């Protein structure tokens, strides 16, 4: 397993060690001991989620203002452009974003710690997206940052208008959003 830091402190890209031959391949998608050794983080995942979406579906930018969730995300079919935005008000990188292509082919994972909004857009015909969370879904605390807030300036690789849920269509601008103290 290799860990690569992104431009946002705390957001990490994780490349698993893959063992393959002419029969196929094997890799550990998560190993608590190795994760802790390489990142210094001791996380307890309580929920696994799996979504399937079609091309140009954009999900995000989601976060929970209480019961904040750390997320370890990956793609098992297709490709997405995955994004995290720092919403920690006292952080030097407040309001900044980072993004990476995650795919079944590259097997990269992204660690998004608590205090960040998270979202992705599907860049392949369809994609299956898996994520582990450090706290349970709490709809009463769920918030949504506007996916195209010009202040944040995420450079989404869109080939058409994104397909958004009703919730994502009414996300808040960063200037209006509840953020982490």
Residue positions annotated with a catalytic role: 62, 131
Is residue 13 within 8 A of residue 109, CB to CB? The reply is: yes
Whole-number Å distance between alpha carbons of 77 and 130: 10
What is the helix (H) or strand (E) element at residue 166, kind and residue range?
helix 166-169
Q: Give the count of beta carbons closer than 10 Å to the beta carbon of residue 94.
A: 15
Is residue 97 within 8 A of residue 111, CB to CB? The reply is: no
Nearest to 30 by CA among 20, 22, 81, 41: 41
* Backbone dihedral region for residue 39 (phi beyond 0: left; psi -120 to 50: alpha; all else: beta): alpha
């Amino acid at each position: 397993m290799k860990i690569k830091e992104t431009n946002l402190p705390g957001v990490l890209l994780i490349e698993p060690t893959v063992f393959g031959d002419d029969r196929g391949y094997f890799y550990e998608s998560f190993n608590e001991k190795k994760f802790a050794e390489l990142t210094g983080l001791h996380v307890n995942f309580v929920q696994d989620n799996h979504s399937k979406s079609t091309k140009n579906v954009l999900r995000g930018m989601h976060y929970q203002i209480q019961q904040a969730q750390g997320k370890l995300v990956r793609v098992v079919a297709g490709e997405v452009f995955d994004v995290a935005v720092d919403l920690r008000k006292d952080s030097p990188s407040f309001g900044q974003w980072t993004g990476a292509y995650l795919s079944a082919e590259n097997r990269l994972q992204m660690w998004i710690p608590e205090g960040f909004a998270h979202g992705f857009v599907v860049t392949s015909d369809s994609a299956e997206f898996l994520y582990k969370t450090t706290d349970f879904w709490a709809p009463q605390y769920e918030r949504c940052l506007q996916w195209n807030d010009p202040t944040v300036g995420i450079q989404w690789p869109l080939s058409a208008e994104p397909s958004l849920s009703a919730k994502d269509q009414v996300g808040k601008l960063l200037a209006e959003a509840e953020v982490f103290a």
